[in-house]
Structure 1
Amino acid sequence: MDKTITSTPASVRTAYLGGLAIAVGGAVLFSTKAVVAKLLYRYHIDAVTLIAFRMLFSLPVFAAVALWQMRTAPPLSNGDRWRLVALGLVGYYLSSFLDFLGLQYITVGLERLILFLTPTFVLLISATFLRQHIGRVQWLALAVCYVGIVLVFVHDLVGGSPNVMLGSLLVLGSAAAYAAYLLMSGEMVKRIGSLRLVAYAMCVSSAACLLQFFVLRPVSGLVQPLPVYGLSLVNGLLCTVAPVFMTMIAVQRIGAGVASQAGMIGPVSTLFLGAVILGEPVTSWQLGGTALVLAGIYLLSHAKPTQSKPG
């Protein structure tokens, strides 16, 4: 007699909580890359060297996944190959490089808040180029987000580095580049799968970062103090590879909506990690601005989907 295995409420809840924990862990690890970058800058390396070491340590994992996908999945069309090259250059190379450049001038708390504006850039790009309508709730969410950013920005501008404006603009460019990547990758994810897309795009990005290093820096730049290798290993594996796969697992278990909301822990964790590890102050202005940005993103995630305007 066949036995049918059914899921009990307890097992379903356990699986849900497990997926939620993985999503939170991935968001925290990904946000920690800003703190690790700040620690690396103490050894007087620049953004070109930092991102090259990051990709050098993460490349073997993504290359192994890419090779596995090449052997098990059908071949890509020429068009998809070129699209993947573009995605790798925009979404992971340009976005990451601008982010690490900006981190030289601003606090990790402000950096993470600016990057958290990525969904608002997706909305604005969609409205501008894809002729999608923005509803009242979405406009409210955008306003709340940007008021929060202005609060933290003004606070850091008054009491921080004289290059806060430059750093903020660079990280803003990073958020815009990643938003463009998300919009460009939408159809390809459905066609070739998220794991394959990320593995191939990260290989392209790694190649670009390493090529940039060897063009702009001498080979002797690979010789660094031992802590640089250790921190770069953490940056490449724990802050890059692990969050990518953890997020994918979380999406499979609890869905993209809940996983993205769990990612809202990122700015909060970065703010407090910056205080504990880097000694960056946590002020009421920063807490208030962070709360507003999180509230705006929460509103945006619960707003009705936009619809394209008739042509």
Structure 2
Amino acid sequence: MHPNTLNSNSALLARRSYLTGLAIALTGAILFSTKAIVAKLIYRYNVDAVTLIFFRMAFSLPIFAGIALWQMHKAGSLSSKDRLSLVVLGLIGYYLSSFLDFLGLQYITAGLERLILFLTPSFVLLISAFFLKRAVSRLEWAALVVSYMGIVLVFFHDLKFGGSNVLLGSVLVLGAAVSYALYLIQSGQLVQRLGSLRLVSYAMCVSSAACIGQFFVLRPASMLVQPLHVYSLSVVNAIFCTVLPVFMTMIAVKKIGAATASQAGMIGPVSTLFLGAYFLDEPITSWQMAGTVLVMGGMYLLSAKKTSA
């Protein structure tokens, strides 16, 4: 076969692989963002955050537990230090962050929730700067200012209609973003030793145990009896908004790299805005669009900085 034909076929395969990876990253980001929409629909049945997160983790636990057992058999046992680190990371990154997020969603729109969570990379940067003494460039500071201006726009717009509930919900979701940023910072070295699949499956098992245990401590078992729609929406929340996005993001990172996969995730706030309008009748205003553009622009500057670094 002619060398030019081989090169053409290689380029075609590489392009196809890239587009496939990009499509997977975009789909994963949209599915993960849909979590807020599904949660809002479940709340219509007078289900509280403790019960909602119980069903989410109970339905996703068998999958993560199966993967964790497979990884345990494949890679062997962990050191005591790694076990402790996994427990802490599971409690901070997936239990606390998810719980605060779902609590906050009771008080704010899905669009504002997604924008606040989208600021997680900026919290990683700020924590690294103030506590780990990492240098922050002018471009990174500019990115933070731009993105926070966007949040302020959307926040004051929603505050006008939601009052003090918006403030409470925003603080709770902000806590979720900060706790997940701490998880990302602390998981850096552990993911190098264990691998992302092993780390995530173990941490999700820890989080599931905490969420399920919390339910039985705080709520009567009678709360497990819910309308059929709550169970079906919880399955969607567990499989399509939790399990699938985790693995799709991993696949996308392998195919197109972490930087491109991260940039593809910027579709999340936009998809949430329009899905919220379609399923929840949440209005889309010029203020929200302007705030979304600013937040996405700021996060793009951060990701562009990381790509060029």
Q: Same fold (TM over 0.5)?
A: yes
State how far apart, in whole Å, the 1-side matches of 2:245 and 2:113 are: 18
The structural deviation recorded for 1:6 is 9.2
Structure 2: distance between partners of 1:159 and 1:66: 45
Residues 230-278 of structure 1: CA deviation (Å, up to 9, x unaligned): 0000000000000000000000000000000000000000000000000
How many angstroms apart in 2 are the aligned matches of 1:6 and 1:268? 36
Distance apart, 1:166 and its partner CA = 0.2
Q: Which runs of 5+ in 1 are unaligned?
A: none
Report the equivalent of 1:129. Answer: 131
Separation in 2, partners of 1:257, 1:125? 20
2:275 corresponding residue in structure 1: 273
Is 1:109 matched up with 2:99?
Answer: no
Return the match for 2:99 from 97, 100, 123.
97
CA contact (8 A) 1:109 1:270 kept: yes
Where do 5+ consecutive residues of structure 2 fail to align? 1-5
* Distance verdict in 2 for CA 1:244–1:304, change over 3 Å: closer
> In the comparison of the two structures, how many residue pairs are matched?
304
Q: 1:74 to 1:126 in 2, by over 3 A?
A: same
Q: What TM-score do you get using the length of structure 1 for normalisation?
A: 0.95
Residue identity in the other structure for 2:65: A
Q: Please name the residue that 2:263 is paired with.
A: 261
Q: How far did residue 160 of structure 1 move? A: 2.5
Q: What letter matches 1:93 in structure 2?
A: Y
Which amino acid is the alignment partner of residue 263 of structure 1? G
Length-normalised TM-score, structure 2 = 0.96
Q: Distance in 2 between matches of 1:43 and 1:116?
A: 28
Match among 18, 24, 27 for residue 26 of structure 2: 24
Deviations 1:88-146 (A, max 9, x none): 00000000000000000000000000000000000000001110111100000000000
Change beyond 3 A, Cα 1:23–1:147 = same
Percent identity reads 68
Give, as a single letter, the amino acid of the residue that structure 1 aligns with 2:111. Answer: G
Secondary structure of the structure 2 residue equivalent to 1:303: helix
1:148 maps to 150
2:208 maps to which residue? 206
**Alpha-carbon contact 2:270-2:292 (below 8 Å) kept:** yes
**2:248 is the counterpart of 1:246:** yes
Which amino acid in 2 is paired with 1:89?
A: L
Contact 2:110 2:276 in 1 (8 A): yes
- Equivalent-residue separation in structure 2 for 1:147 and 1:179 (angstroms): 20
1:65 partnered with 2:67: yes
Q: Distance in 2 between matches of 1:306 and 1:214?
A: 49
Shift of 1:82: 0.3
Root-mean-square deviation (CA, aligned residues, Å) is 1.6
Note the C-alpha offset of 1:75. 1.5
> Matches of 1:169 and 1:231 in 2, distance apart?
26
Q: Secondary structure at the match of 1:228?
A: helix
Matched position secondary structure for 1:75: coil
2:260 match: secondary structure: helix
Match of 2:11 among 9, 24, 38: 9
**Larger deviation, residues 238-247 vs 69-78:** 69-78
User: Do the aligned residues in 2 keep the contact of 1:53 with 1:232 (CA within 8 Å)?
Assistant: yes
| Deviations, residues 153-211 of structure 1 (Å, cap 9, x unaligned) | 00000123540000000000000000000000000010000000000000000000000
Q: In the TM superposition, what is the alpha-carbon distance from 1:305 to its structure 2 partner?
A: 8.6
Partner SS state of residue 163, structure 1? helix
User: C-alpha distance in 2, partners of 1:267/1:6?
Assistant: 37
Provide the C-alpha distance between the structure 2 equivalents of 1:306 and 1:250, rounded to a whole number of angstroms. Answer: 20
Alignment partner of 2:283: what SS?
coil
Q: 2: CA distance between counterparts of 1:180 and 1:306?
A: 24
Match of 1:42 in 2: 44
